[in-house]
Amino acid sequence: MKIQPAKNLQGTINLPGDKSISHRAAMFASLARGTTRIENFATSADCASTLSCFEQLGVEVAREGDTVVVTGRGKNGFRESAAPLDCGNSGTTMRLLAGILAGQPFDSVLTGDESLSKRPMKRVIEPLTRMDARLEADDNHAPLRIFGKNPLRAISFEPAVASAQVKSCVLLAGLNAAGRTSVLEKTPTRDHTERMLRWFGVGVAEEETENGRLITVSGDAGLAARDLIVPSDVSSAAFFLVAAAGLKDSALTLPNVGLNPTRNAVVEVLRDFGAEIEIFNEREIANEPVADLRVSGRGALRPRAGANVLRGKIIANLIDEIPILAVFGTQLAGGLEIREAAELRVKESDRIRAVVENLRRMGAAVEEFEDGLRVEKSALRGATVDSCGDHRIAMAFAVAALFAAGPTEIKDAACAAVSFPAFFETLATVAK
C-alpha cells in the first residue's frame, strides 16, 4: 500500500463496531437462550473468527450487513465440534473461548494463525487447570487442546498480568463452576465483559478492595438473549484522532464512539498533548458509554507538563493505542516516552520492536527499552515500512505516512482487515 502525505483531514467517518465488544456480543448471545440481534457488529476478520467458531459449536448465526442475528443455545447447549476451532489472528477469541469450553462436557481444540500460535497461553491454562479442566498445549502455545469438565471448580484468581482477556476467560469459566468464582484485578482493564454479562441478565458483583477490584460471578447464572447495538471502536478512532490532531486545519467528526472509562484514556492523553477534541451527545447504549467526537487540527502541539511520559496504570487503558501514540510522539514538542508496556511484545507482533524499526526507517530518533520506547520530535520522511502482519502497525504507519515528506510504502498492509477492513478506503475519503 502506497500512502501520500496529506495536508489535513476533513469530513465525517462512521467507524466500524468495536472489536472487543463485538466478540463478547457474539459469545454471550451464543451462551444465551433465545435470539439476539446485534447491530453495528464489527466488520473485523477477528470477530468473523469468533462467529464461525460458535457456528461450529452448533449456534445459528445470520448475517445481514453489519447486523448479526444469533440464536443462542444456553450455556450448556453447545455441540462438540468434530474439527478444530480456528481462532485466526484473534487472541480474544482464543482466550475467552477457552474459558467457555473448559466448562463443557466435551473436548475441543483451538488453533490459530502463525502469530496467534506464538502468543502466551499459560496465562489462561493456569487458572483453567486450577478450575479442574485439563488443557494440553506444546510449550503453552496454540494449538490448545481442552478436555472440558462440568461443573468446574470455582476459584479466586489474581492474574499476574493486567489482561481483560484473562479476566474474561476466568469469569466465563466461572459460569460453569460450582459456586462463586472471583478475579482480583490490581490494575483495572477494560470491563466490557462485566457490563455485557449484566446486559444479558447475569449478576456480576464488583467490590473495590485494598488490593484492587474484586469481580465475582456465580456458577448458577444463566444468560437471556437481549438485542444490542455495538458502539464504534475507539481503538480505530485513535488513528483518525491522531492524524487530524497532527495536521493543521483538519476538521473531522466521528459519531457513536465507545467511551468506556476503562478504555478511553487515549482521548484524555491526546488532549494532554494539546489536541483539540470535543466530546458531545454523550449517552449510554447497552450499558456502554457512547459519544460523538470532533477533532480539529490546530498546528504545533505543546503537551502539558508531565504529558510526555506514559507509564503505570494508564498503560492497560490504552494498550492497543500505543503504536499510534508512539507515531504521534514524532510530532510533539519534547517527544514521548512509554514505559511499563512490556505486554506490547506479546501482541499480534512485538509492537515495541515493530514501532522502533519502522520509525527509524522514516528518520525518527527512537530509543528502545525492554518495556517501552522513547521517541524524539522528528521530521519524518517517506520510506518502506513493514506491518509485521499486525493490523495496528499497518494503520499506525499509514498515519505516520500522512505526516512524512514523500510517499511511504507499507508492506503487508492488508492485515488492517483484522480490525478495520475498510481502513485505507476510509482514510482516502478524508485525507486532503
Q: List the one residue out of 402, 374, 398 whose CA is nearest residue 386.
A: 398
Q: Which of 30, 165, 236, 250 binds ligand S3P (CB under 6 A)?
A: 165
**C-alpha grid cell for residue 273?**
498533548
Q: Does 163 bind ligand S3P (CB under 6 A)?
A: yes
Q: Which is nearer to ligand S3P, 47 or 366 (CB)?
A: 47
Q: How far is the CB of 270 from ligand S3P (least distance, A)?
A: 19
**C-alpha grid cell for residue 296?**
480539529
Q: Does 50 bind ligand S3P (CB under 6 A)?
A: no
User: How many other CB atoms are found less than 10 A from the CB of residue 116?
Assistant: 24
Is 320 a catalytic site residue? yes
Q: Distance between CA atoms of 74 and 385, rounded to whole angstroms?
A: 46
Amino acid at position 230, single letter: V
Q: Which of 13, 121, 144, 164 binds ligand S3P (CB under 6 A)?
A: 164
Q: How far is the CB of 164 from ligand S3P (least distance, A)?
A: 4
Q: Does 181 bind ligand S3P (CB under 6 A)?
A: no
DSSP state, residue 286: T
Q: How far is the CB of 144 from ligand S3P (least distance, A)?
A: 15
In the range 22-41, which residues lie near ligand S3P by CB under 6 A?
Answer: 23
Dihedral angle sign, alpha carbons of residues 233, 238, 243, 246: positive
In the range 293-322, which residues lie near ligand S3P by CB under 6 A?
Answer: 319-320
**C-alpha grid cell for residue 146?**
481442552
Phi, psi of 360 (to 5 degrees): -65, -40
Residue 428's contacts (CB-CB under 8 Å, 6 or more residues apart) are none
Q: Which of 40, 92, 253, 256 binds ligand S3P (CB under 6 A)?
A: 92
Residue 160's contacts (CB-CB under 8 Å, 6 or more residues apart) are 123
Q: Which is nearer to ligand S3P, 91 or 246 (CB)?
A: 91
Q: Which residue has the cell 449478576?
A: 203
Q: Does 20 bind ligand S3P (CB under 6 A)?
A: yes
Q: Which is nearer to ligand S3P, 226 or 345 (CB)?
A: 345
Q: Distance between CA atoms of 183 and 147, rounded to whole angstroms?
A: 23
Instruction: Please tell me whether residue 155 adopts helix, strand or coil conformation.
Output: coil
Nearest-5° Cα angle at 187, 183 to 189: 75
Q: How far is the CB of 383 from ligand S3P (least distance, A)?
A: 27
**C-alpha grid cell for residue 95?**
482466550
CB contact at 8 A, 348 and 418: yes
Q: Distance between CA atoms of 308 and 36, rounded to whole angstroms?
A: 44
Q: Which is nearer to ligand S3P, 154 or 164 (CB)?
A: 164
| Candidates 62-70, 158-166, 209-217, 254-262; binding stretch for ligand S3P (CB under 6 A) | 158-166
- For the chain, percent helix, then strand, then coil, each to nearest 5? 35, 30, 40
Q: How far is the CB of 250 from ligand S3P (least distance, A)?
A: 27
Q: How far is the CB of 46 from ligand S3P (least distance, A)?
A: 9
Q: How far is the CB of 391 from ligand S3P (least distance, A)?
A: 10
Number of residues that bind ligand S3P (CB under 6 A): 12
How many CA atoms are closer than 13 Å to the CA of 106, on its beta-carbon side? 12
Which residue is catalytic, options 320, 371, 386, 390?
Answer: 320
Note the residues at the interface with ligand S3P (CB under 6 A): 20, 23, 91-92, 163-165, 168, 190, 319-320, 343
Any idea which residues carry the catalytic annotation? 320
